[in-house]
Amino acid sequence: MLKWDFVYLDEVLHQSQYEVRYHGINNFIGKKIDGYHSDRLVMTSQAAAALQKAEHLLDSMGLGLHIYDTYRPQRAVDHFQSWANNPSDTLTKAIFYPDQKKKDLFHLGYIASRSGHSRGSTIDLTIYALDDGLPIDMGGAYDFFGIISHHGYEAITLEQKANRILLKNIMAQCGFRSYDKEWWHYTLVDEPYPDRYFDFIVESE
C-alpha cells in the first residue's frame, strides 16, 4: 500500500501511455535502475490530479500524455551518481551524451545528487497522438544530454518548436513549471513535499 498520499498513475489517468525507461535498459546507463521493481509509476495525489487536467485538455485535441518517469527513489539517483563517477563505463555515450564528458554531467545540470523526482511531484513526459498512438516530434530524444534538449533551442523545425510549446503551455495551465535544460521535465509548482526526498521502492502493490 502506498503511503504519504502517493497514488498509482494508471489508477488516475485513463488515456496516458507509459514507457518506464528506468525499469528496463533503454536509458542513459543501459541497465535497469536501482529502486524500480515495477513499471507502474507513482506520484503525489496532488500532482496526479493536475495531470488529470492535462490529460483532459489534450484529449480535446486528439492527444494524450506519454510518460517516461515520475517519482524516483533516492537510491536510483545514487545509482546515477555512481555511474557518472565511473569514467570507464561509456556503454551508451553514442546515443545519450555523444558531445559530453561524464564528469561534466553534474555541473551542466543533467544529473544531480538530489532530484526533484524524489519529492514525488516531478514528471518526465511528452505527447502522443490518439489516432496512431505515436509520440509527436519534439525535435530531440528523451534523456539526451545536450543543448538540443534545452527549451528555446533554435535549430529545430517550426513544427518541433510548436510541439514543445504546446507541452509547456498545457503543463503550465495545469500548475507545472518547466526545467530549461530538458523539454520533457516538469515539476508541480505547489508540490506537497518541497523539502523531502523519498527512497521507497517502486513496486506494483
Distances (CA, A) of 114 to 119, 124, 127, 174, 205: 9, 16, 27, 25, 26
Which long-range contacts (C-beta less than 8 Å, at least 24 apart) are formed by 56-61?
Answer: 57/170, 57/173, 57/174, 58/127, 58/170, 59/15, 59/130
One-letter amino acid identity for 185?
H
Contact yes or no for 194/118 (Cβ under 8 A) = no
- Cell readout for 156 is 529545430
Does residue 203 have an active-site annotation?
Answer: no
Among 155, 161, 191, 160, smallest CA distance to 48 is for: 191
- Cell readout for 138 is 519534439
Among 121, 116, 125, smallest CA distance to 170 is for: 125
- Cell readout for 154 is 533554435
Catalytic residue among 19, 55, 182, 191: 182
| Cα distance between residue 28 and residue 128, in whole Å | 22
Contact yes or no for 9/50 (Cβ under 8 A) = no
Q: Which residues are catalytic?
A: 182
